Chain A
Amino acid sequence: MKQTEYQLICGMEVHAELKTKSKMFCGCKNDPFHASKPNCYTCPTCLGLPGALPVANSTAIEWTIKLGLALNCRINLFSKFDRKHYFYPDLPKGYQISQYDLPFCYDGYLETSAGKVRIHRIHLEEDTGKLLHKTVHNQKVSLVDFNRSGVPLIEIVTEPDIKSAAQAKEYAKTLRGILRELHIADCDMEQGGMRLEANISLQAVGTKELPNYKIELKNINSFRFLEQAINYEIERQSQVLQNGEQLNQETRGWNAVQNKTFLQRTKEEAEDYRYFPDPDLPPIRLSTNQIEIIKQNLPELPLERAKRWMSNYHLQPEFATRLSEDTKHAQQLDSLFKLAVNKKFEPSKLANQIVNKKITVNYQNLEATLEEFESLNATATVDDNDLEKIIRQVLAEHQDAVNRYHAGQKQVLSFFMGQVMKNLKVKADPQQVRSTLHKYLDN
């Protein structure tokens, strides 16, 4: 029997906690991961006490719009918060304040190397508390920590444009880069500061009909697991479909030990959250002027930077992309490339060697970096026997320095480097000198 081929249909929902000073709807400190003890950052509002009211954090709203603009979204000038109802002990009010039909941002896109991923919407909501299951006095109990309750949370929802696990990973990583570049989220994956969800189904190649099921992959806390889990699902689902069986709506998780997805729950019927506009929060009206100001203050994003480097310094796309993700050193790298051009060096070669770790950039001293680059690339070939002879000689002359090296003062290495280079009398490849030195010192 002929094997049917399947194409992945995948959309993603990413949650990220915004790092505003205070929580979304109250003045409590927003720092759940560094709290000294449970429930120390709480107040009547984020505990859902009777009569307490929410007041929206305007910085969080501004940041959401910032992200929307960075993702080429359209912005709703009239927006509002809605109540989403469900019962869970970590949700103190019995509803989550979220956005239903008028999210702040919609209809954007994010570029990946495999094509555009359209952004369906970005909305702002509040995070829940956290349940801790413990044994206290030999009794199994569930405790609730509300430090995270009310932390601003954005949800970024894509269209089902993702065609491979690798693209999903690239999308998520790029998104994290943007969130960090904008200084609006730390995206600590392990702590749950950024949470990934993928909605996955398969379509038989050649058919136009969209699949009639959707598997939700939830609670993925690393990019690698995301890629592995999607690939696993492609395998699993195509086998089920190949056997002529049906796939149903369900939620699955990723078991990183067994390297497979597992069933979390099946959806018997559609959930009904009974959304309605939160009467405690007046609708939000924004002017085109406000949006324009936010737009003008957007920093350069990694992707834009990569493009600029490619056109200005002729960096190869691969290296430009890699280096552009280092948002912390973006400015210094920019200066470094400019300096390189002035000195008639090739920035693309420099970028290549930085990415391949042949050169470590000294961000305090860019000139020194270029000197290293120069010496690395302008070398004479040194005979291994000559080199080893000189090394033995240098080490013998500086026994005390050797002792210090063995006592842990590894920085002594650069002293030896200098001595050896000096004695060689020619411009040797520092890489060659360094590795030979290591051979002698570390044995």
Chain B
Amino acid sequence: MNDLTTLTLADTIQALRDKKFSLSELLSSYRSVIEKHNQKLNILLTTTLDNHPEQLDSPLAGSPLVVKDNISTKNIQTTAASTVLDGYRPPFDATIIHRLYQAGASIIGKSNLDAWAHGSSTETSQYGRTLNPRNPDYLPGGSSGGSAAAVAANMCAAAIGTETAGSIRQPAAWCGVVGLKPSYGRVSRFGVIAMASSTDSPGPITKTVEDAAILLNFIAGHDHHDSTTSSQSAPDFTTNINQSIKNLRVGILYQGIKGLEIVDPHLQKVGQVLESLGAQVDSVSAMDPKLAISVYTVVQRGEVSSNLARMDGVRFGNDRSYFGDEAKRRIMLGTYTLSKGYADQYYNTAQKVRTLFIEDFKKLFKKFDVLISPTSPSFAKKVGATADAAMFGELEDMLLEPSSITGLPGINVPCYQDKKTHLFLGLNIVAPMWREDLVIKVADAYEKATSWNEWRNKA
């Protein structure tokens, strides 16, 4: 009965409602997959497979989900993959957890990540690295590597990750799954252990684009606990499934820039597919994404140094000696860039450049409805790749950082799989603020016009 775990979220909900199997049968299928693979792949830090009530009348009908371990879950250990928080059981649920429970989700595990979400490999987790289920010699990406791997390994029907600059889309690309980063402010951050508060965005990591739309429906919308959430009400995102993209204007970003030799030809093919669906595809040049790395590094390190200050071991968790090297590096750099005399030179300048990126995108979106680019410059990197690379994540996420620092919504859909290594490349689709509908529409049309998505093919 292991087929149950390969069902998409949409199919799982339907099958549960149709009573094709019970929730407990479904959970035991997931249990056996987890028991078989988790020890080796180290995807889930905590499993919570027991005591989930049947709830057929709820929208998610009990569907088993995995959430990243930097999202607070009441009475369930929440570590952000740092031993500083070893044994910490929050007395409250994050808003998105609360909303998922209300929608009838069964949360069956907490997934691994780079400690404090600092990284793009899940190799800096203080609970050990996660391996890529597609090929365990390779990394899953990060920081939501555990959530992407959990979906790829069929350990859940769908997962929740968080993205600050690529942390949903990049691991989704490396694991060959769908990852949707909503507009900043679309989804509540309340209860999500803050990394870089001004860019953190929780979002779905799923088997299909439709699944991402389904999950986004339940987590999106204003939260009175998070004043950075938008007050506008969220639309029904699933209405963008199976829609025509005829005459939609698509701009291809970053073509021909150095370091993209592996992905460039595949993006050309994406362009052809979209054209065949009736879209108008054109190349376009934008601000150098390398500048975004500098902006992001300065802003993010500053916010990290501030956000981690509460981890003092007084009210919860362990003391500061438990911080890993990467966190210490970021705290030191952030403390420096915020200090007197340097804040103008670094933090404030970075914020100005950030505004330039916002303006640049505004101009681009006058000509295009969506912009596309590769999600990552390459396939997943080999295990151990981060050892001597302090800026590993930033270089990996270069193509995503411009849209992250500007708060735009984006999605990763698989756009190529290497037959020998089984590893994937990803397509990144970006739209203007609050236009998740457009990224979902284009991603869904692309997904259905190609055969990279194994789960959809099965259905």
**Bound pair: A and B?**
yes
Nearest CB of chain A from residue B201's CB, rounded to whole Å? 13
Is there an interface contact between A85 and B191, defined as CB atoms closer than 8 Å? no
Given contacts A93-B309, A93-B310, A280-B228, contact A51 B90 (CB under 8 A): yes
B259 CB-CB contact with A under 8 Å: no
The reply to whether A87 and B309 contact each other, CB–CB distance below 8 Å, is yes
Does A50 contact B311, Cβ atoms closer than 8 Å?
yes
| A55→B91 contact, CB < 8 A | no
> Bound complex: CA of A53 vs CA of B228, how far in Å?
10
- Known A85-B309, A89-B314, A280-B197; judge A274-B88 contact (CB<8 A): no
Whether B197 and A279, one on each chain, are in contact in the complex, defined by CB atoms closer than 8 angstroms, is yes
From A56, A94, A144, B310 is in contact (CB under 8 Å) with A94
Q: Name B226's contact: one of A53, A95, A144 (CB within 8 Å).
A: A53
Interface residue? B269 (CB, 8 A): no
CA distance A52 to B302 in the complex (A): 19
Shortest A126–chain B CB gap in Å is: 14
Residues of B contacting A257 in the complex (Cβ-Cβ under 8 angstroms): none
Asked if B310 and A51 make an inter-chain contact with CB atoms under 8 angstroms apart, the answer reads no
Are A270 and B340 touching (Cβ within 8 A)? yes
Q: How far is the CB of B115 from chain A (nearest CB, A)?
A: 13
CB pair B340–A95 under 8 Å, yes or no, is no
Could you say which of B194, B226, B315 has the most chain A C-beta atoms within 10 Å of its C-beta? B315
Question: Is A418 close to B, CB under 8 A?
Answer: no
B310: A residues at CB distance < 8 A: 48-50, 92-94
Q: Which residues of A contact B191 (CB under 8 A)?
A: 44, 51-52
Closest chain B residue to A280 by CB distance?
Answer: B197
Residues in chain B near residue A53, CB distance under 8 A: 189-190, 225-228
CB-defined contacts of B245 to chain A, threshold 8 Å: none
Establish whether residues B72 and A50, one from each chain, have CB atoms under 8 Å apart when the complex forms.
yes
Residues in B with CB closer than 8 Å to A44 are: 90-92, 191
| B interface footprint on A142-158 (CB within 8 Å = 1, 0 otherwise) | 00100000000000000
Q: Say whether, besides A49-B316, A95-B309, A276-B302, A55 and B197 are in contact (CB < 8 Å).
A: no
| A83 contacts partner chain B, Cβ-Cβ < 8 Å | yes
The interface residues of chain B lying within 8 Å CB-to-CB of A89 are 312, 314
B314 pairs with A49, CB closer than 8 A: no
Tell me the bound Cα distance from A280 to B184 in angstroms: 12
CB-based contact A95/B306 at 8 Å: yes
B85 CB–A CB distance under 8 Å: yes
B277 contact set on A, CB distance < 8 A: none
Q: How far is the CB of A67 from chain B (nearest CB, A)?
A: 23
Whether A55 contacts B347 by the Cβ 8 Å rule is no
Q: Does B343 contact A (CB under 8 A)?
A: yes
Q: How far is A274 from B309 in the complex, measured between Cα atoms in Å?
A: 12
Q: A85-B309, A94-B312, A280-B197 are in contact. Are A51 and B72 (CB under 8 A)?
A: yes
A282 CB-CB contact with B under 8 Å? yes
Q: Using Cβ atoms and an 8 Å threshold, which residues of chain B touch A281?
A: 227-228
Q: Is the CB of B338 within 8 A of A274?
A: yes
Encode contact with B along A107-150: 1 for CB under 8 Å, 0 otherwise. 00000000000000000000000000000000000001000000
Flag whether A437 is at the interface (Cβ < 8 A): no
Which residues of chain B come closer than 8 Å to A47, judged between CB atoms?
315
Interface contact B193-A50, CB-CB below 8 Å: yes
| A107 CA to B156 CA, complexed, in Å | 60
> Are A282 and B347 neighbours in the complex by a CB distance under 8 Å?
no
Which of B192, B193, B228, B309 contacts A279 (CB under 8 A)?
B228
Q: B314-357 interface mask toward A, CB cutoff 8 Å, 1 = contact, 0 = none?
A: 11100000000000000000010011100100010000000000
Compute how far the CA of A74 lies from the CA of B315 in the bound complex, rounded to whole angstroms.
41
Q: How far is the CB of A128 from chain B (nearest CB, A)?
A: 13
Interface size class of A (residues with CB under 8 A): 20 to 34
B224 at the interface (CB under 8 A from A): yes
Q: Are B193 and A51 in contact (CB under 8 A)?
A: yes
CB-CB under 8 A from B228, the residues of chain A are 53, 279-282
Q: Known contacts A85-B306, A274-B335, A280-B197; decide if A50 and B227 are in contact (CB<8 Å).
A: no
Known A-B contacts A55-B224, A270-B340, A274-B343; A94 and B91 likewise in contact (beta carbons under 8 Å):
no
Q: How far is the CA of A270 from the CA of B339 in the complex (A)?
A: 12
Q: Say yes or no: is B78 at the interface (Cβ < 8 Å to chain A).
A: yes
List the A side residues contacting B335 at CB < 8 Å.
274
A276 to B197, alpha carbons, bound, how many Å? Answer: 12
Q: Is B175 an interface residue (CB 8 A)?
A: no
- A345 CB to closest chain B CB (Å) equals 58
Chain A residues within 8 Å of B315, by CB = 47-49, 92
CA gap between A94 and B305 in the complex, in Å:
10
* Cβ-neighbour of A282 out of B71, B90, B227, B308 (below 8 A): B227
B312–A50 CB distance below 8 A: no
Contact with B along A254-296 (1 / 0, CB 8 A): 0000000000000000101011100111100000000000000
Distance A420 CA – B70 CA, assembled complex (angstroms): 84
User: What is the bound-complex CA distance between A256 and B263, given in angstroms?
Assistant: 76
Within 8 A of B (CB), among A82-99: 83, 85, 87, 89, 92-95
Instruction: Please name the residue on chain A nearest to B91 by beta carbon.
Output: A44
Q: A55 vs B302: C-alpha distance in the bound complex, in angstroms?
A: 21
Q: Please provide the chain A residues from 283 to 314 with a CB less than 8 Å away from any CB of chain B in the complex.
A: none
Q: Which residue of B lies closest to A48 (CB)?
A: B310
A282 to B343, CA, bound (A): 20
Q: Does B163 contact A (CB under 8 A)?
A: no
A280 proximity list for chain B (CB < 8 A)? 194, 197, 226-228
Report whether A55 and B225 are in contact in the complex, using a CB–CB cutoff of 8 Å. yes
Distance between Cα atoms of A92 and B310 in the complex (Å) = 6
Q: How far is the CA of A279 from the CA of B193 in the complex (A)?
A: 14
CB distance from A125 to the nearest CB of B (A): 16
Closest Cβ neighbor of B311 among chain A residues = A50
- Which among B192, B196, B303, B343 is the interface contact of A51 at CB below 8 angstroms? B192
Residue B80 at the A interface, CB < 8 A?
yes
B80 touches A50 (CB 8 A): yes
Answer yes or no: B46 CB below 8 A from chain A CBs. no
When each residue 29-53 of chain A gets 1 if its CB lies under 8 Å from chain B and 0 otherwise, what string results?
Answer: 0000000000000001001111111
B198 within 8 A of A: yes
In the bound assembly, the distance between CA atoms of A349 and B225 in angstroms comes to 58
CB distance from B439 to the nearest CB of A (A): 24
**B253 within 8 Å of A (CB atoms):** no
Contact status A49-B338, CB under 8 Å? no
Question: What's the Cα separation between A282 and B224 when bound, in Å?
Answer: 13
A392 to B169, CA, bound (A): 101
Chain A nearest Cβ from B73, distance in angstroms:
10
Q: A49 contacts which of B91, B192, B196, B347 (Cβ < 8 Å)?
A: B91
Contacts of B88 in A (CB 8 A): 50
Contact of A276 with B347 in the complex, beta carbons under 8 Å? yes
- Which residues, 2 to 35 on A, are CB-close (under 8 Å) to B? none
CA distance A272 to B341 in the complex (A): 10
B343 neighbours in A (Cβ, 8 Å): 274-276
The answer on a CB contact under 8 Å between B312 and A51 is no
Chain B nearest CB from A66 CB (Å) reads: 22
Enumerate the 5 nearest inter-chain pairs by beta-carbon distance, A residue then B residue, closest first. A94-B309, A279-B197, A279-B198, A274-B338, A51-B191
Would you mind naming 26 contact pairs between A and B with Cβ atoms under 8 Å apart?
Answer: A44-B91, A47-B315, A49-B91, A50-B72, A50-B80, A50-B194, A51-B72, A51-B189, A51-B191, A51-B193, A51-B194, A52-B92, A53-B228, A55-B225, A55-B227, A83-B306, A85-B306, A85-B338, A87-B312, A89-B312, A92-B314, A95-B306, A274-B335, A274-B343, A279-B303, A280-B227
Since A49-B92, A55-B227 are in contact, a sample of 8 more A-B pairs with Cβ atoms closer than 8 Å, ordered by chain A residue number, is: A44-B191, A49-B90, A51-B90, A54-B227, A93-B309, A94-B308, A272-B339, A280-B194
